[in-house]
Amino acid sequence: MAAIADILADFEYLEEWDDRYRYVIELGKALPDLPDADKTAENKVRGCASQVWLVTEPGDGPDPALTLRGDSDAHIVRGLVAIVLAIYSGKRASEIARLDALETFRGIGMIEHLSAQRANGLRSMVNRIQAEAASRLQAA
């Protein structure tokens, strides 16, 4: 999986939105497939027009690092999942709870280039991950 710093650098290099969309799709293609066993109702993200699944694997301790895996049945959305995972996966729950991935998407101009449904789905993914991080912190 690409690091978020590399993804942001690539976005700066790509000036045309057609190229940026192709890049997002390529990021999605590089995302490892989520096993069918993980494509459950519990892992499904509500509020996405496409099907999106997120799996959280917490580490140990009162502020665990969260490893995230995800998938989608739509090419562009799968790329958005890859970017969200690059932003959040491997970080501690406390950092995830205060890190707004939507700011990153705004910074690269992606939010205004998404359909309303995709932008809402992206918000649903971010909200789900931040809620999971918050619940892990409360459980500690």
- Under CATH, which number does the domain 4-139 receive? 3.90.1010.10
Dihedral of the alpha carbons of 62, 67, 73, 77, in degrees to the nearest 10? 90
Query: Known catalytic residue: 30?
Result: no
User: What does the DSSP 8-state code read for residue 69?
Assistant: E
Domain spans of the chain?
Answer: 4-139
User: Cα–Cα distance between 6 and 79 in angstroms, integer?
Assistant: 14
Closest CA to 105 of 121, 89, 92, 91: 121
Q: Which residues of the chain have pLDDT under 50?
A: none
- Ramachandran sector of residue 109 (left: φ over 0; alpha: ψ -120 to 50; beta: rest): left
Candidate list 7, 31, 45, 48, residue with the active-site label: 48
Residue 2: predicted pLDDT: 77
Nearest 10 degrees: CA dihedral of 25, 100, 52, 73? Answer: -10
**pLDDT, position 48:** 79
**In the prediction, which pLDDT does 140 show?**
63
The C-alpha atoms of residue 83 and residue 38 are separated, in whole angstroms, by 20
pTM of the model: 0.95
